[in-house]
Amino acid sequence: MIKKLIFIFCIIIPLSANESVYASTKSAPPSLEEQYKEIGYKSVEEAVEEFESHFKSKVKLPKVKPSISFTHQFGRFYEDKKYDMNDFLEIAYVNENLSENNYKIDIRPIKNKVNFQDKTNIKEYTLQSGHKAIYFEHQLLNFLVFEKDNYQYMLGIDKNLSGKVTPDNLVQIANSIK
């Protein structure tokens, strides 16, 4: 009798729990724009406006970009509400089809600048304005860092592009800020 009950139980439970789940053919992965929006990015213009409003000062962006292709550009203003010392503007240029085509610009007030004295293999450059710039390689990006108009600028390019976008190219980009 117990064997019959176990047998019936083993047959009835799986049959009663058999439900069909259908995947919608209309559900697609989020677009690149949606993915960036989810992590706080918006248009460059909106982010710049937030940054300028927060600091009550205009910010100048480079007129020149690296000579590689980008499909999208995004901006994000990060406000450090806890310590009020790490507010910055980030502008990201990406290529949806070429993952190594990444370029970014971080801008922060000089009073909250990031110091790079502990970096090794720093190369120093002089911009047309007479300001000094430093270039160094990091884990994922190579950076050119300089100060202009009370802001610290960090231009970062994907390490995989170091043969196409050289330190001299980044200096030209920095010199395009007028």
pLDDT tens by residue, 41-85: 999 999 999 999 999 999 999 999 999 999 999 999 999 888 878
User: 16 falls in which pLDDT band (50, 70, 90)?
Assistant: very low
User: 26 falls in which pLDDT band (50, 70, 90)?
Assistant: low
Dihedral angle computed from the Cα positions of residues 9, 15, 17 and 19, in that order, rounded to the nearest 10 degrees: 180
**pLDDT recorded at residue 5:** 35
Q: Strand 123-126 vs strand 103-109: parallel, antiparallel, or unpaired?
A: unpaired
pLDDT digits (tens, 9 = 90+) for 92-104: 999 999 999 999 9
CA distances from 62 to 77, 97, 103, 105, 170 (A): 17, 24, 12, 9, 10
Q: Is 91 helix (H, G, I), strand (E, B) or coil?
A: strand
**Do 70 and 93 contact (CB within 8 A), yes or no?**
yes
- Record the tokens describing residue 178, joined without a space: 């007028």
**Do 86 and 60 contact (CB within 8 A), yes or no?**
no
Q: Strand 141-148 vs strand 151-158: parallel, antiparallel, or unpaired?
A: antiparallel
| CA 166/CA 168 separation, integer angstroms | 5
| CA 167/CA 125 separation, integer angstroms | 9
**pLDDT recorded at residue 7:** 38
| CA 51/CA 55 separation, integer angstroms | 6
| CA 16/CA 129 separation, integer angstroms | 77
Residue for token digits 């610290």? Answer: 152
